Structure 1
């Protein structure tokens, strides 16, 4: 189980509303990574937790249950695998998806923490073409049929990510750059609004928000620290797709 994240909520007890959350880099990276998840992964994650009941989930189940009898010639069930269980490589290669989402999914968690691979048929160089061109086909789904020789593409070809850090980046305890991970800088505290709008936190922005919400009694404000684990992340993901009050829906209701 991945470690839980801490999130500090600022609540107006008089108006019984959440004003904003104070968050660090880890939580903001988690939210931003929602945008990199393939739709098939979103449905699978929420469906496994019985948290989604919309038409797209029925479409997902249709593909998952479809017999190979009805798959067009030249394809097989593996070819449809990427629709219902998309490879995590569909996310940004240099920015893996949040492990909190995959703590209960051993295969996905393993893929998220290991190297990225493409797969080839292993028969490159032996394909014959009249024009002399010998293209190399690759796939991010192991077992896909090679268009040239019809063999299963199972030979690993490791993906090399472009350098994401500079020599001036800060490093953590293991000598790796802390700025090269995730999406935002770690030296900043962020404000996350109820609708998941994110902005850098400052005294001026805090005062401006209190004015915007017409908060007159500072004594009525309450700080509440909540823990964000697998269930909370799944609930946040669901709320982000159907609500403008995601934080309230997950942590106050």
Structure 2
């Protein structure tokens, strides 16, 4: 099976060596917003092999290594270590809502996933409308794209010459998605650090 990817088009200031903004479609924006639905334990599990900073990996490992003799009989460690995400988007949705053993159900009539603890999520994982192109800033601020906003942004970045700009299409697969997640926890220049 081929790896799922999403893409965006970067506008790069060659002189400042930074991403001014990215142009992204619905699939990419849905993926970026889906990061917000990931439980902390899932983020730790995704990033600990990459070398996640801070103390949360130690907390995760402590529970993982704790003998079941110390756990209440009606409790399961996996409830905390592998929580179910409400996201059904492919890149980071490791705990698919249709897998067995969780509390999510798929409606046979409308293909929606129903989680008793979450909102109803469209069967295809959609959040934003697809009739719009979105502007993704270097710090992951997202808004609908407009010509006026783009020109204002170039002025804010003090870009005087269009020749100083370069366009670059990038693709986010699982490796890039993990790196984006890691950088976003540490930096406000996520796209620049990831792609420049």
Fold match by TM threshold 0.5: yes
Report the Cα distance in structure 2 between the residues aligned to 1:180 and 1:44, rounded to whole angstroms.
24
- Point out where structure 1 has 5 or more consecutive residues left out of the alignment: 119-139, 141-156, 166-177
Map Cα deviations across residues 57-109 of structure 1 (whole Å, 9 max, x no partner): 0100100110012224x335xx2211111123xx2xxxx3321125xx6xx3x
Which residue does the alignment assign to 1:219?
Answer: 163
Compute the TM-score of the two structures, normalised by the length of structure 1: 0.66
Q: 1:180 to 1:59 in 2, by over 3 A?
A: closer
Q: 1:4 to 1:62 in 2, by over 3 A?
A: same
SS in 2 for 1:186: coil
Between the two proteins, the alignment pairs up a number of residues equal to 186
Report the Cα distance in structure 2 between the residues aligned to 1:66 and 1:181, rounded to whole angstroms.
35
Compute the TM-score of the two structures, normalised by the length of structure 2: 0.83
Shift of the alpha carbon at 1:34?
0.7
Which residue does the alignment assign to 2:117?
Answer: none
Which residue does the alignment assign to 1:83?
Answer: 80
- Output aligned runs, 1:1-253, within 5 Å: 1-47=2-48, 49-72=49-72, 74-76=73-75, 79-88=76-85, 91=86, 96-102=87-93, 108=95, 111-112=96-97, 114=98, 140=103, 158=105, 160=107, 181-252=125-196
**Over aligned residue pairs, what C-alpha RMSD do you find?**
2.7
Q: 1:115 to 1:187 in 2, by over 3 A?
A: farther
Report the Cα distance in structure 1 between the residues aligned to 2:88 and 2:46, rounded to whole angstroms.
12
- Point out where structure 2 has 5 or more consecutive residues left out of the alignment: 113-121
Q: 1:50 to 1:14 in 2, by over 3 A?
A: closer
Q: 1:55 to 1:180 in 2, by over 3 A?
A: closer
Report the Cα distance in structure 2 between the residues aligned to 1:161 and 1:57, rounded to whole angstroms.
39
Higher-Rg structure is 1
Q: Answer whether contact 2:30 2:125 (CA < 8 A) is retained.
A: no
Map Cα deviations across residues 128-151 of structure 1 (whole Å, 9 max, x no partner): xxxxxxxxxxxx3xxxxxxxxxxx
